[in-house]
Amino acid sequence: MSRRERLADPTAAQESGGAADGVRSGTQDPESVMDSAAAPPRRRRRGLRIALTVLVVLTLLGGGGLLAGGFYLRSIESGIERVEAFVDVPEEFRPEKVTTATNILILGSDTRDPQSTSGSRSDTIILAHIAADRQSAQLISIPRDTWVFVPENQEGTYGGREAKINAAYAWGGIPLMVQTVEEFTGVRVDNVALVDFAGFREIVDALGGVEIDVEEAFTSNHSLNPDNRRSFAAGPQTMDGAAALDYARERYAFADGDFARIRHQQQVIKAILEKAASGGVLSSPATLNSFIRATADAVAVDETLSLLDFGMDLRHLRGDDLTFVTSPTEGTGRVGDESVVFADTEAADSFYDAVRRDAVDEILAAAR
């Protein structure tokens, strides 16, 4: 049964262990099992420390810089942690790969976020689509509260019903998250990277700060400052690592909550890419080395991803070639006692079909 059919058929949700209206008899709220559900093995979680997306390193070492630094990058790659992302994903249920484009699932958490109370979680979900011609990339943010069908985990203890998409990570680690995202989007995931958005602080400081244009003034009451407060004025400004992290993690100060946080995370990622690819960083061996090692030491990727080979493919990609998109939604609402984000099913089906076909013009049109 397709995603559309399952969401439209209440009996299908009930047969799979859930309830179409969100009232789940004899089951636990996804949020309530975050701490009690078996966390991914230590080997998987150890990689969630300082990292920003692997795309930063790959795009940074573009052109001649990559060619000259091939041996250096290979030495960095040898120390990067590997995770088993696809071991428990049933091949018979996976989408067919129809193009040579590459889709990387980036799972981000914020292990030091004072606003978070759950233990094993994925606070940020990004599907990075690298076009087959390697001339552009689209980073698609999927809100963590998106209400989707989560397949049953390997042990059969959780899942098999609708829930917030980030429950998949708590219930079955990386493989169940891969399976859930593939089920939701119909797009085959080729690689996985783990990042920790708490690492913004170290990454930004290694670059000497980044330029951010703040859309509206606000005050965060969950800051890294000793008094837990930090105020941001509207307009362009230079942020150090602590300020950038506060800016990227805040959601309670905004009427649109997690959607504002997604926009700000996208801003910071692009600002880091632009600063990292600037002449000043590339011409300073000390700054370049500090940035790459601060990033690469903490990145965890799946066992099949070669940073050197992939970096060669992306040697012409720069910040202006990246487009940030948010998965189509109908807005927020409630299912039982949970606040959730409802996917715009019709728009999402069309959008992810374009991603699956590598129809970049259609993907970009949806981003406008």
Q: Which domains does the chain have, with CATH numbers?
A: 3-367 (3.40.630.190)
Gap between the Cα atoms of 286 and 292, Å rounded:
10
Gap between the Cα atoms of 340 and 291, Å rounded:
37
Residues 6 or more apart whose Cβ sits within 8 Å of residue 96: 188
pLDDT of residue 148: 98
Q: CB of 281 within 8 A of CB of 46?
A: no
**In sequence order, what are the beta bridge partners of 322?**
137
**178 half-sphere exposure, CB direction, 13 A CA radius:** 26
Q: CB of 290 within 8 A of CB of 206?
A: yes
pLDDT in tens, the chain (368 residues): 433 333 333 333 333 333 333 333 333 444 444 433 444 443 333 322 323 444 555 444 444 344 445 666 666 667 777 888 999 899 999 999 999 999 999 988 655 444 443 445 567 899 999 999 999 999 999 999 999 999 999 999 999 999 999 999 999 999 999 999 999 999 999 999 887 666 678 788 888 999 999 999 999 998 989 999 999 999 999 999 999 999 998 989 999 888 998 899 889 888 887 887 776 666 677 777 777 776 666 577 888 887 667 767 776 776 678 888 999 999 999 999 999 999 999 999 999 999 999 999 999 998 77
Q: What is the DSSP string of 234-282?
A: SEEEEE-HHHHHHHHH--TTSTTTHHHHHHHHHHHHHHHHHHHTSHHHH
Gap between the Cα atoms of 97 and 127, Å rounded:
15
Q: CB of 193 within 8 A of CB of 181?
A: no
Gap between the Cα atoms of 106 and 128, Å rounded:
7
Residue 139's SS3 state is strand
pLDDT of residue 72: 63
Q: Where are the beta strands (DSSP E) in 110-221?
A: 124-130, 137-141, 147-150, 161-164, 191-196, 210-214, 218-220
Read off the pTM: 0.77
pLDDT of residue 319: 67
